[in-house]
Amino acid sequence: MSELAAAAGASSPPRSPPLEPCADENEAARRFAQAVSEDELWQRSEQRLPYGHFAYPTDRPLVWVKFGEPWRLAEADMQRLAWQWLRSQRETKQCSPDIHVPEVFRTFTRGPRAFIIMELVDGTVLAKSVFAKPMGSLHPVEQCFDLIAEGIQVLRQMPVPPDATPGPYTAEYGHRIIRHPIFKDQAARFVYRDVDQLERHLNKVIACRFPRGEAPTLHLERQLVFSYCDLNDENFMFKRDANGRLRLYIVDFEHASFLPLCFLAYAGLRHSQWWSQPPIAERIGATFPDTNLDLLGHADYVFKVFVWTSTASTLHRSA
């Protein structure tokens, strides 16, 4: 989502409509998203299959389109929740006015493919913002990381729907798969109906790392929290608003779920796949409990190394 140039292609879609005076900065894009035909987007997606996204129309992009398997509609649902929550927090001055999420304008399914049409963020990803030469000349380094840390914390404070289960909050039960770095390929293989079932399954997985009868017991928090668990630097984009203020846009909600707090803590403090993780961890670490992190590390190892054999289904069914 970071490169408009990469989204350009050799197609000839309709040109963008003339921009008219709008009540808000997204109104023109919102109108376009509602009017654009599914056929147009399907045809463009056929040319963008390796990438899974594109800016549209190509001559003067107004929206960002993400597409993929039907479960991506759950990603859109979580992004909508985040957008609504951050908007309410900004309006009531409960968080920085500079923390944003792209607005989701429309979703639909066409054949085996789901489409998310959303706000186009014409900004720079974290790496380009931070490593511009001289360092920090594009955007202040400390301010970038401060905004990211605050954004993760503000999302964590979102009220949890009373009927939420571990995973994305979405209508389609089969799409409630947890996507988190603890799992092989960063996706659970099963939908968990509640925290109890998730806890039982994890304890059986953790037991694989210890002699029989000697495994410690994982006790998950019963309260779920909105957990944004992918700290890939490309998921944080920055731009200046009309007044020159630096804005953060948190993008890509594939790894967003309602989860026990230790899952968010593990993604933020222990899973260091991305160079951007340590500076973020420095800012959020004191607000997280360190309980369960070692045990989640054992589960991480088992999931990655050998649990996805026939043992996996047995462990889940017995949970």
Q: How confident is the model at residue 163 (pLDDT cuts 50, 70, 90)?
A: very high
249-263 pLDDT per residue, tens: 999 999 999 999 999
Three state DSSP letters for 18-81: CCCCCCCCCHHHHHHHHHCCHHHHHHHHHHCCCCCEEEECCCCCCEEEEEECCCHHHHHHHHHH
How high is the pLDDT of residue 265? 96
Residues 6+ apart with CB under 8 A from 118: 33, 63, 64, 65, 66, 76, 79, 102, 103, 104, 105
At residue 316, the pLDDT reads: 57
State residue 147's pLDDT score. 97
Q: Contact 141/154 with Cβ under 8 angstroms?
A: no
CA-to-CA dists, residue 30 to 27, 33, 63, 290, angstroms? 5, 5, 8, 43
Mean pLDDT of the chain, nearest integer: 89
Q: Are residues 131 and 272 in the same domain?
A: yes
What proportion of the chain, given as a percentage, has pLDDT over 90? 78
Assign 284 a pLDDT band (cuts: 50, 70, 90): very high
Within this chain, do residues 191 and 268 fall inside the same structural domain, yes or no?
yes
Task: Please check whether residues 218 and 313 belong to one and the same domain.
Answer: yes
Residue 304 CA to residue 171 CA, distance in Å, equals 29
pLDDT at 19 over 60: no
What's the pTM value of the predicted model, to 2 decimals? 0.88
Q: Is the peptide bond before 260 cis (omega within 30 degrees of 0)?
A: no
pLDDT tens, residue by residue, 55-106:
999 999 999 999 999 999 999 999 999 999 999 999 999 999 999 999 999 9
Domain span at residue 41?
4-120
* 39 and 136 fall within a common domain: no
> In this predicted structure, what is the pLDDT of residue 102?
98
DSSP 167: B
CA dihedral sign, ordered 25, 27, 33, 37: negative
**Domain co-membership, 138 together with 285:** yes
pLDDT in tens, 181-222: 999 999 999 999 999 999 999 999 999 999 999 999 999 999
Q: Which of 102, 120, 138 is the last residue of a domain?
A: 120
Tokens of 114: 């789901």
pLDDT in tens, 134-154: 665 678 899 999 999 999 999
Residues 318 and 204 sit within 8 Å (Cβ to Cβ): yes
| Counted domains in the chain | 2
The per-residue pLDDT for 217 is 98
Band (272; pLDDT cuts 50, 70, 90):
confident
d(Cα 136, Cα 118) in Å, to the nearest integer?
A: 29
Q: Which amino acid belongs to residue 65?
A: V
Q: Which of 266, 277, 269, 186 is nearest to 231 (CA)?
A: 277
More reliable by pLDDT, 308 or 167: 167
More confident residue, 241 or 116: 116
Counting beta carbons within 10 angstroms of the beta carbon of residue 92, is it exposed (0 to 12), middle (13 to 18) or buried (19 or more)?
exposed
Which residue bears the tokens 């490593």?
131
State yes or no: pLDDT of 224 exceeds 60: yes
The predicted structure's pLDDT at residue 24: 85
Q: Is 155 helix (H, G, I), strand (E, B) or coil?
A: helix
Same domain, 180 and 259: yes
Single residue among 57, 91, 120 that ends a domain in this structure = 120
The answer, yes or no, to whether residue 313 has pLDDT greater than 90, is: no
Q: What CATH number is attached to the domain comprising 87?
A: 3.30.200
- CA triple 43-105-52, angle to 5 deg: 40
User: Measured between alpha carbons, how far apart are the two ends of the chain, in Å?
Assistant: 39
Q: Pick from 74, 99, 120: which residue ends a domain?
A: 120
- pLDDT higher than threshold 60 for residue 236: yes
